[in-house]
Structure 1
Amino acid sequence: MALFKKRTAGKPGEWFYCLEHKKVEEGPECPAKDRFGPYASRKEAEHAMATARERNVEWENDPKWHDAPASGRDDD
């Protein structure tokens, strides 16, 4: 039995979206590896997955995100 229980970091009033349980929680209940956040409001946390999808599309279409082709190669 552990003498000290490791607490999850966070404060009341911070909202998180748990990826494992697919639910919004105030103050983290689940480990950091399983959540998005913190968010300033419950509403922001409820939209966490939509926000992530939007950001993924932006990153996938950002020309600065992709590696530049190696120089000195002839692909012709």
Structure 2
Amino acid sequence: MPLFKRRTAGKPGEWFYCLEHKKVEEGPDCPGKDRMGPYASRQDATRAMETAQERNAEWENDPRWHDTPTPHGTPHFRPCSYKHPPTQKKGEKT
């Protein structure tokens, strides 16, 4: 057990929604893994879960993020636009 509890940094006027306690808090009282935010106002923090659900629904219904199925039923993955450097085989000199 640590001698001193490390205080999470925060600024006055920042609002967070604590996932563990299911309540709005001013300043980060709970660990980062248990909170959402910071939010500019108490009202925004109050709507944290609704906002997350709305954003998740938008993402799930966004056609840019879904792979199109092939006739076989498996997804067709779009090719990556990154130009990978050529791979070097073992023992091969460049």
TM above 0.5: yes
1:47 lines up with 2:47 in the alignment: yes
Q: Which has the higher contact order (CA 8 A, sep 6+)?
A: 1
Structure 1, unmatched stretches of 5+, are: 72-76
Number of aligned residue pairs: give it.
71
Q: CA RMSD in A?
A: 1.7
Relative to the length of structure 2, the TM-score reads: 0.67
Range that drifts further, 62-71 or 51-60: 62-71
Structure 1 outlier segments of 4+, above 6 Å: none
Match of 1:17, SS?
strand
Question: Given residue 19 of structure 2, which amino acid in structure 1 is its aligned partner?
Answer: L
CA distance in 1, matches of 2:36, 2:77: 35
CA distance in 1, matches of 2:46, 2:77: 42
Relative to the length of structure 1, the TM-score reads: 0.82
What's the CA shift for 1:42? Answer: 0.3
What's the CA shift for 1:9? Answer: 2.4
Aligned residue number for residue 74 of structure 1 = none
CA distance in 1, matches of 2:53, 2:21: 18
What's the CA shift for 1:66? Answer: 2.5
CA distance in 1, matches of 2:67, 2:10: 36
Cα-to-partner distance string for 1:16-48 (whole Å, 9 max, x where unaligned): 000010000000110000111000000000000
Structure 2, unmatched stretches of 5+, are: 69-75, 79-94
What is the identity percentage for the equivalent residue pairs of Structure 1 and Structure 2? 76
What's the CA shift for 1:67? Answer: 4.1
Question: Given residue 64 of structure 1, which amino acid in structure 2 is its aligned partner?
Answer: R
Larger Rg: 2
